[in-house]
Amino acid sequence: MSGGLFPSFDDVHYRAWDGTQRLDELDASELLGAMSDELLSGADLEEAMARLARWGLPGRMEGIQDLMERLRAARQKRAERHGLSKIFEELEKKLDEVKGLERGGLERRRQQAAEAPPEMREAMQRFAQERLDKLDALPKDVGRAIQQLRDYEFVDPKAAEAYQELLAMLQEQVLSSYFSNMRQQLQDLTPEKLERTRQMIRDLNRALRERMEGGEPDFEAFQRQYPELAGNAKDWDDLVQQLAAGMAAMRSLWSSMPPEMRDQLEQLLGSAFQDPGLQQAMSDLADTLGQLIPIDGNAYEMTGDEPVSLSEALELMRQMDRLTDMEEQLRLAADPADLGALDADEVERLAGKRARRSLEEIKRMWELLEEAGLIRKDGPRYELTPRGIRKIGQRSLEEIFSTLKRDAFGSHRARHRGGGGDPTDELKTYEFGDPFLLDLPGTVRNAVMRGGAGTPVKLSPQDFDVYRTELMTQSATAILVDVSRSMLFRGCFLAAKKVTLALDSLIRSTFPKDDLYIVGFSAYATELKPADLPRLTWNEYVYGTNMQHAFETARSLLAHSRGKNKQVILITDGEPTAHFEDGRPRFSYPPTKRTFEETLREVVRCTREGIQINTFMLARGHYLVDFVDQMSKINHGRAFYVEPERLGEYVLIDYVDNKRKRVGG
């Protein structure tokens, strides 16, 4: 069915399950839902996003902390697998080969001395013995032994050649650590290659020094001249970072060794750079890099028993240093945007596919939300869009309805009838004005029972049966949300905001002809829009619970609605403690008689205008209960005492119960 709702089989691609794929991908709604309570509690969007990125969604998405743990585990796995005790074993074997070849040559020289003329025999034997004594006196420390052989005059040509190969191998391993891009070029290090390397290091140091002094050396020209070093670097800064990583690996290896091995490594480095020109060039470069960027080594406890050579150990240190650096980047990351420098390919290479997936999901969080139209860029910062706010309301609605227990609520009949809603299973004889939802079999049966068998069947008006419908009343509601400080301190503020957004979402999706007005009040009342609620905090208000002004504002708003059924939903945790007098709010606690009287006058006005007041009390204070009792006697509205956690259930069920009533017979 290509081109329709379903993809063609040609569009479907399959690949083997590797444990990292997820059948149900994360979507933007799930991400926003995870932050909704925090946003409704007054948190900044970017702060909420940063916390979500750091801690993730349990069972659904790993956060930065989980990714850090994966990097730590990858580093620890290397430390527990490898050991440094045999790091010089490869060099020791090569050194033993050199000594073995030289001993063999010296033994042949002694044999030749036995056949030589007497006047030469003693001198040749003494020469051979002196050389053997020097070999026997070589330190067991491979580094010192290689250094002492530097001044040794080899008798056997093959031994001399093997020694030069040993030095070349050592130089290659050390230089490859500093210049990882040049591993291929540093193999089979000939005198010509060594001279080019020496010149390259000098030119590099000269360019970096020029840059330190404010100059602008030509990076592209250097890149063309030495592509083996700078071929994949973007600029001077990138190249410096790469070189610093190599030097840091050497320092980490040094720091991870026991003292006796550090001494051997020091001797080996001296042997590798025994060429005065190369040694000076490397020393100058190390000094320059140290001034450009801090180069610190990390100490790792290598407890494994899998041996590594010197070159392998340096690469291992480079990997472990990189894992440490990435972990530090994650630790300092304030939000997903700060993770841009982390390369997903490198993360996968060092820590595995799951770590890569975690990084990509964290990085994509902002993008997912923006693509879904739930957030948008407002200058340098992000903000919720109207659609995002509606999504939070929808989630609040779903959350509330998922825990409803309908048997806890009674039914309430509407005072004014509206248009027909969904059909029920009950039948009635058709009357003028009823929705014509005909029960055809029942209608024909009525005609046959009335007129008897035979054809044609003649229908009369009294034969027609129709289905009853649920009554859909058009309502206008003003929800008055107490936003005084006590609501925050008692933990009621979040519940009130959630139920307000949920009610807005319910009306938008199910009762679009209804009107909903939102009024926030403390010392005074003001109309709010759903978009205001996530950002609403108690800091915007002063002391006081001015219900008088809240009722007055609600009356004014409801007067503009055409809905026949008008109601006020009052959500509060305290009695009225403020009223308007001489054009400004008067606050008093305990509440004064004057405040009660002025507030009840507004209740009388609401009652005269046919507005029912239903109160949801989040606390049972003495003054509040007395006031609500007086208000209920005047208005005949209902009052509920509810815990904040169940506020949504009460408000929404009461609203729906007053929307859907069956038409009478």
- Going by pLDDT thresholds of 50, 70 and 90, the confidence category of residue 398 is low
For residue 420, what pLDDT is reported?
45
pLDDT digits (tens, 9 = 90+) for 120-154: 777 878 888 888 888 888 888 888 888 888 888 88
Mean pLDDT, to the nearest integer, of 610-631? 81
pLDDT in tens, 484-527: 766 665 556 667 777 777 777 777 766 777 788 888 888 888 88
* pLDDT of the residue at 662: 34
If one counts every other C-beta atom within 10 angstroms of the C-beta of residue 646, the result is 17
Residue 516, CB-side half-sphere exposure with 13 Å CA sphere: 22
| Highest-scoring range by mean pLDDT, 94-98, 185-189, 404-408 | 94-98
DSSP 361-403: HHHTHHHHHHHTTSEEEETTEEEE-HHHHHHHHHHHHHHHHTT
CB of 391 within 8 A of CB of 640? no
Write out pLDDT tens, residues 93-102.
999 999 999 8
Q: Which of 126-140, 188-202, 251-265, 603-617 has the lowest mean pLDDT?
A: 188-202
Residue 595: pLDDT over 70? yes
Angle at 225 between CA 223 and CA 227, to 5 degrees: 50
Q: Which of 558, 545, 661 is nearest to 607 (CA)?
A: 558
Q: What is the pLDDT of residue 471?
A: 53
Does the model's pTM come out above 0.85?
no
Choose the most confident range, by mean pLDDT, from 394-408, 435-449, 542-556: 542-556
Strands 565-572 and 578-581: what pairing? unpaired
Phi-psi region for residue 393, left (φ > 0), alpha (ψ -120 to 50) or beta? alpha
State the pLDDT at residue 557. 92
For domain 473-662, the CATH architecture is 3-Layer(aba) Sandwich (3.40)
What integer is the mean pLDDT of 544-568? 87
Domain ranges across the chain: 24-83+324-384, 89-301, 419-471, 473-662
* Mean confidence (pLDDT) of the chain: 79
pLDDT tops 60 at residue 543? yes
